[in-house]
């Protein structure tokens, strides 16, 4: 990963998780110090976030956080739900019993990581669960579009939300069951429901924290 991309990912996470609020200013030098990089790639990363609409440049003042709306959050997750649902439906048509068993194993590890509050493992295993399904579907262009939405999903937010680990586990197990039976449309709906519920939860959290504009 380029240093500018690292800087962009760092600040993007702060914004979409609500740690940086609308109107707050952020300087390249601060980002550089936090990441142990020089100011030049830090500034390039902030410029990238400007093109994404997450930051605004104000003359003589620097970069400020652009207000996000609940609709912005829901739009991103609606797109992810549509794309992820399609990939899951395609996977249901070709998945093997062995791969279903692998998903069961991943899910068991994920639930144990949640119980242990090992959020780094939760993040890694959740990504592996989804990526295993999506990769099976093929469809490189759709997978590329899904990846384009992932930076707007805060990595460490969901595991810490009360009730989400249990709800997510229930969703994942429903997805696995529909994949096991080869029911493509049910698998599509289960994945779409799972992703949309995550988006609604994030929008609710950011609204309550006063982060959304």
Pick the CATH number of 3-65 from 1.10.10.10, 1.10.3720.10, 3.40.30.10, 1.10.600.10: 1.10.10.10
pLDDT tens-digit series, residues 169-200: 999 999 999 999 999 999 999 999 999 998 88
Radius of gyration over every alpha carbon of the chain, rounded to an integer in angstroms? 18
Tell me which of 128 and 166 has the higher pLDDT.
128
Whether pTM > 0.85 for this model: the answer is no
Closest CA to 62 of 108, 18, 11, 16: 11
Asked whether residue 133 carries a pLDDT value surpassing 90, the answer given is: yes
What would the pLDDT profile of 55-71 be if each residue is shown by its tens digit? 999 888 889 998 888 88
Given this model, what pLDDT does residue 160 score? 65
Question: What is the rounded distance in angstroms from the CA atom of residue 55 to the CA atom of residue 51?
Answer: 8
Angle formed at CA 152 by CA 154 and CA 71, multiple of 5 degrees: 110
Residue 155 pLDDT > 70: no
List all residues 6 or more positions away from 130 whose beta carbon is below 8 Å from its beta carbon. Answer: 84
Q: In sequence order, which residues have a C-beta less than 8 Å from that of residue 142 and are 6 or more positions away?
A: 83, 86, 87
Q: Which CATH class is domain 70-208?
A: mainly alpha
Question: Where are the CATH 1.10.10.10 domain residues in the chain?
Answer: 3-65
Write out the residue limits of the CATH 1.20.120.530 domain(s) in the chain. Answer: 70-208
Query: pLDDT averaged over the chain?
Result: 90
The pLDDT, as a whole number, for residue 205 is: 76
**Residue 5 · residue 44 · CB < 8 Å:** no
Percent of the chain predicted with pLDDT > 90: 63
- pLDDT value, residue 151: 76
pLDDT category at 213 given cuts 50, 70, 90 is low
Phi, psi torsion values for 5, nearest 5 degrees: -70, -35
From 1, 186, 156, 172, select the one nearest 85 (Cα to Cα). 186
Structure tokens at 204: 């609710």
């Amino acid at each position: 990963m380029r240093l500018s991309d690292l800087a962009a990912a760092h600040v993007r996470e702060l914004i979409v998780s609500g740690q940086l609020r609308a109107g707050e200013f952020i300087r390249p030098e601060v980002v550089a110090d936090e990441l142990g990089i020089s100011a030049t790639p830090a500034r390039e990363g902030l410029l990238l976030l400007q093109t994404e609409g997450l930051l605004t440049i104000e003359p003589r003042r620097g970069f400020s956080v652009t207000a996000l709306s609940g609709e912005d959050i829901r739009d991103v997750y609606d797109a992810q739900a549509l794309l992820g649902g399609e990939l899951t439906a395609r996977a249901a048509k070709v998945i093997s019993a062995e791969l279903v068993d692998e998903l069961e194993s991943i899910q068991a590890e994920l639930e144990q990581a949640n119980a242990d509050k090992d959020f780094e493992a939760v993040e890694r295993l959740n990504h592996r669960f989804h990526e295993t399904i999506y990769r099976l579907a093929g469809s490189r262009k759709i997978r590329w579009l899904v990846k384009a939405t992932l930076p707007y999903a805060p990595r460490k937010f969901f595991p810490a939300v009360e009730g989400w680990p249990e709800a997510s586990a229930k969703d994942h197990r429903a997805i696995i069951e529909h994949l096991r039976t080869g029911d493509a449309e049910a698998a599509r709906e289960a994945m779409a429901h799972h992703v949309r519920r995550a988006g609604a939860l994030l929008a609710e959290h950011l609204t309550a924290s006063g982060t959304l504009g």
